[in-house]
Structure 1
Amino acid sequence: MTTRPWKGRHGGERGSGGGPSLTLLLLVPAIFAIVFGGIYIGFRLYGSNLALDAANAGARAAAVLPVSLDRGRQAAQDFLDHDADGTLINTSVSIAMNGNSVVVIVSGNTVALPGRVTQQAALVVEVAP
């Protein structure tokens, strides 16, 4: 009489139980890290894009004749108040003349995750013909 090797409840050989659960135990944290890392990167890029758009709006407004740094600062702040409301907080806008260029720097904190984004835009000032 020949004996067959012992098989467990599900037909596997002895000692093979737990393989799939161990694989899941190792894969699930990696999948969560990839998903939440992607969300983090998305929020950071979106906040950075909003800051750049606000800086561009301020530079465009300030560079037209007659040149007005206050108008540029107000345009950037209006953009932040209307289009970036709820996404960027603790924002700051600084504007300066650098030779014949207007430089606008916008920075703020992203709401969902910690981190400060800073972007700048520069435009050459228009000259009267």
Structure 2
Amino acid sequence: MRYALLLHYPEMSADDLGTEALAEGMREFDEYAKALDAAGVLRSAEVLQPSSATTTVRGGETLQVQDGPFADTKEQLGGTFVIEVDDLDGAIEWAGRAPSVNWGAVEIRPVGTRFVDGAWTSFDHR
């Protein structure tokens, strides 16, 4: 089964974090990604730019474009890992190992469909 691990945590600049904390976080995420990869479950990983770089688009009678994130929350979506494991228990185990679980939430979302090589593929999570 394929799951997206959505990493939500408070945003801080490199200056806010400090050089040592930033380096430690980068090391921890590198180790985490390498562990997922070595286990053969990693399908993709993305680190997102800060929410200040976000543009939100909404439809309606006219297209509305808003600078910044849609939600005004303390925690922002900071990155994603897409994994393929046997079941939700496996996804929970890997989510619990994400470095950011210690300072934010890791949302586990089953992947419903994906588009690859010109076609949609559905995933059954029953």
Q: TM above 0.5, one fold? A: no
Bigger strand share: 2
Compute the TM-score of the two structures, normalised by the length of structure 2: 0.29
Compute the TM-score of the two structures, normalised by the length of structure 1: 0.29
Q: Structure with the greater relative contact order (CA < 8 A, sep ≥ 6): 1 or 2?
A: 2
For the pair shown, the structure with the greater C-alpha radius of gyration is 1
